[in-house]
């Protein structure tokens, strides 16, 4: 073997493979919480980087002389960069990068600077140290390969495939149908590795895109039959009670429900929202969970307006903006509503300038309409207080009734606030991110109170349904040690993490008695709830959600990875817990009907989105949106008054 390696000039190649293998395994152990449960998983975690190293680095053998070493170094660096990108991404999102997420970086990447840099550490340089070692070795080696090692390449390629097939076969014994029924990227990386996952993800992305080309009108029949069979009849107590009212959505950036009624040093963090949570004129849903995937804020927007689930990979806003949609603003056009979005950032962030057109939103007031001076901005755009203040003249310029939505930004990771913007005390939990969260949440609360006061002053409060929702979690699992202190627990386990996905949902409808509502619900349930309050029946629309105020409301909340929460069960990573007590259950104690429901719900939504099936479906009275007729260009001489129709 030693002679073979020497003759074939494989020494440099094998050193590169071993360095990548060891580094990747170390990264798995140090950076990712993959939930290793048994010996088979431990072995697979150690072995899976080998097939990837052999496969990708093997292509360097097709070059000759110094080019061979250069090619191996370049491939090694690219794989190292992919691994490191996953490490940084995982530190906040507890997830792995997909091809669609990489595509999103083209439009979002330049605006993610502060958050991305805050996730990097000086010790990260060690993830590229082995590449430096390879460069030094290449410079010192006197006799590089004289010709391409094509025969060696074929042997290496065959070895890589063999190792992968053995890896996959063993993985299938521990997790049957791994590649066909797993919604969870954690499983795929645990069993197959980050590099093989990227290949799998690319194949799935191509498959998803091809579904639209292959779909036809017959594909919508099964979906229509399922959704109409599961339609929830509206509650007569609430149906149409807010007919003709304006609609104002407010996305509460990164706000989680644990913050409601929470105190720091005896001071309420969110005193205004707390009042609403205890106000019998406002609905507060205390078992409401976000269901976002990789699209985060954009996923929440999509579900709120379309009552369909997000994609398993990437963002609907970025990858499916060409789809035909039947969203809330488009539906309300039939009721003579004007629609507008307000956002203190550029139009292109999350591809909103295209997606909003597909949803039929008439106007988009982005950063071009605001004073984006340094004192008014932080993180992803405009600070919430000046944002709401400057939005009021634009809002008043709209003809009524209107449908509008506001995207707040200040309460965003890493949550640091400028000193002049808050005097609220930071937390003291041994984690700067968690400590800062209480200050930025307090600032958000004050901005919402300011907005409500302005709505009342301008006569819009009593004419509008106001819907406010936490768009996704703000504090990830990486901060569980500090969060355990926040919640007064010894530790945070996976059941607790699932419960922390609760986010606030407030619905204020003029003249409608509210109060605290304990029903379990999620993002997809909001659209039918609001439309029924407005007197618009959703029975002819293909929506995944269930009216929360209906007596028939379904209280099973699917998450994008196939987990779910209901009043009975909390399913996390294949394990079932009693939702009320947190007790881990045996499979014999679990009724799997809810599993079946979750799987079907996600499949039906995916069929609609991936196949763009709504282009084949025309609800009675609905007028299809023509995005080409919507223009968000701001004229140089435009003002709030110019926006009037």
Residue 213: how many CB atoms within 10 A of its CB? 8
Q: Is 240 left (phi over 0), alpha (psi -120 to 50) or beta?
A: left
Exposed, middle or buried by CB within 10 Å (0-12, 13-18, 19+), for 35?
middle
CA distance 388 to 382: 10
Helix (H) or strand (E) holding 246: strand 246-252
CA distance 195 to 201: 10
CA distances from 269 to 50, 259, 432, 435, 437 (A): 50, 7, 17, 12, 10
Answer whether 437's CB lies under 8 Å from 500's CB: no
The active-site residue, picked from 107, 292, 297, 377, is 297
| b (16+ CB within 10 A) / e for 287-326 | bbbbbbbbbbbbbbbbbbbbbbbbbbbbbbbbbbbebbbb
CA distance 406 to 56: 46
List beta partners, residue 516: 284
- What is the full DSSP assignment across 480-547? HHHHHHHHT-S---HHHHHHTTB--EEEE-TT---EEE---EEGGGHHHHHHHHTT---TTS------
CA distances from 636 to 126, 184, 356 (A): 50, 48, 22
- What is the full DSSP assignment across 358-387? HTT--EEE-GGGS---GGGEETTEE-HHHH
Helix (H, G, I), strand (E, B) or coil at 288: strand
Q: Return the sign of the alpha-carbon dihedral for residues 99, 101, 106, 107.
A: positive
CA distance 445 to 250: 12
Answer whether 522's CB lies under 8 Å from 288's CB: yes
Token pair, residue 617, equals: 């479906």
CA distance 89 to 507: 33
∠531-536-541 over CA atoms, to 5°? Answer: 85
Answer whether 576's CB lies under 8 Å from 568's CB: no
Find, among 557, 550, 563, 555, the residue nearest to 523 by Cα: 557
Helix (H, G, I), strand (E, B) or coil at 609: helix
Token pair, residue 448, equals: 């919402």
CA distance 526 to 467: 9
- What is the full DSSP assignment across 377-429? EETTEE-HHHHHHHHHHHHHTSPSSEEEEEE--SS-TT----GGG--PPPP-S
CA distance 156 to 549: 61
Catalytic residue list contains 297: yes
Answer whether 236's CB lies under 8 Å from 550's CB: no
Active-site annotation, residues: 297
């Amino acid at each position: 073997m030693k002679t073979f390696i020497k003759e074939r000039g494989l020494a440099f190649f094998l050193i590169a493979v071993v360095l990548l293998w060891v580094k990747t395994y170390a990264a798995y152990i140090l950076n990712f919480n993959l939930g290793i449960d048994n010996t088979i998983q431990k072995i697979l975690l150690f072995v899976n980087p080998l097939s990837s190293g052999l496969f990708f680095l093997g292509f360097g053998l097709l070059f000759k002389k110094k080019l061979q070493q250069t090619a191996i170094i370049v491939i090694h660096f690219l794989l190292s960069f992919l691994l490191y990108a996953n490490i940084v991404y995982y530190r906040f999102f507890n997830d792995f990068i997909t091809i669609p997420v990489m595509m999103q970086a083209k439009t979002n990447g330049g605006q993610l600077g502060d958050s991305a840099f805050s996730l990097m550490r000086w010790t990260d340089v060690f993830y590229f140290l082995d590449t430096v070692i390879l460069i030094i070795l290449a410079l010192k080696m006197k006799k590089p390969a004289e010709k391409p090692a094509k025969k060696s390449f074929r042997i290496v390629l065959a070895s890589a495939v063999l190792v992968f097939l053995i890896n996959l076969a063993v993985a299938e014994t521990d997790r049957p149908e791994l590649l066909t029924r797993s919604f969870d990227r954690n499983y795929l990386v645990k069993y197959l590795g980050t590099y093989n996952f990227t290949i799998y993800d690319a194949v799935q992305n191509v498959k998803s895109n091809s579904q639209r080309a292959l779909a036809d009108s017959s594909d919508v029949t099964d979906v229509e039959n399922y959704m109409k069979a599961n339609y929830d009849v509206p509650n007569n107590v609430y149906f149409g009670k807010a007919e003709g009212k304006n609609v104002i959505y407010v996305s509460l950036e990164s706000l989680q429900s644990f913050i409601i009624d929470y105190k720091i040093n005896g001071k309420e963090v969110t005193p205004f929202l707390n009042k609403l949570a205890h106000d019998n004129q406002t609905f507060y849903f205390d078992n409401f969970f976000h269901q976002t995937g990789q699209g985060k804020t954009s996923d929440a927007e999509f579900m709120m307006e379309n009552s369909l689930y997000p994609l398993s990979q990437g963002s609907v806003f970025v990858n499916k903006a060409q789809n035909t949609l039947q969203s809330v603003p488009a539906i309300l056009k039939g009721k003579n509503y004007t629609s507008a979005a307000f956002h203190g950032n550029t139009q292109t962030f999350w591809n909103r300038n295209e997606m909003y057109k597909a949803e039929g939103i008439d106007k988009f007031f982005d950063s071009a309409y605001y004073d984006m001076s340094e004192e008014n901005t932080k993180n992803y755009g405009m600070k919430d207080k000046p944002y709401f203040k400057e939005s009021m003249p634009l809002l008043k310029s709209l003809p009524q009734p209107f449908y509008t939505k506001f995207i707040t930004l200040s309460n965003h990771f890493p949550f640091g606030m400028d000193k002049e913007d808050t005097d609220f005390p930071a937390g003291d939990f041994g984690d700067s991110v968690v400590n800062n969260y209480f200050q930025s949440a307090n600032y958000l609360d004050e901005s919402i109170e300011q907005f409500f006061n302005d709505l009342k002053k301008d006569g819009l409060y009593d004419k509008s349904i106001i819907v406010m929702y936490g768009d996704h979690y703000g504090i990830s699992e990486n901060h569980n040690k500090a969060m355990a202190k926040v919640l007064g627990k010894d530790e945070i386990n996976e059941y607790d993490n699932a419960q922390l996905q609760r986010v606030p949902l407030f619905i204020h409808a003029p003249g409608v008695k509210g109060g605290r509502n304990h029903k379990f619900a999620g993002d997809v349930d909001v659209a039918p709830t609001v439309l029924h309050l407005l007197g618009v029946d959703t029975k002819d629309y293909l929506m995944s959600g269930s009216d929360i105020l209906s007596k028939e409301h379904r209280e099973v909340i699917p998450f994008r990875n196939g987990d779910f929460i209901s009043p009975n069960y909390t399913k996390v990573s294949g394990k079932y817990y009693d939702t009320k007590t947190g007790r881990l259950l045996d499979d014999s104690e679990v009724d799997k009907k809810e599993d079946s429901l979750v799987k079907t719900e996600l499949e039906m939504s995916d069929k609609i989105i991936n196949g763009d099936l709504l282009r084949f479906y025309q609800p009675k009275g609905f007028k299809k949106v023509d995005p080409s007729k919507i223009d968000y260009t701001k004229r140089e001489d435009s003002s709030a008054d110019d926006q009037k129709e």
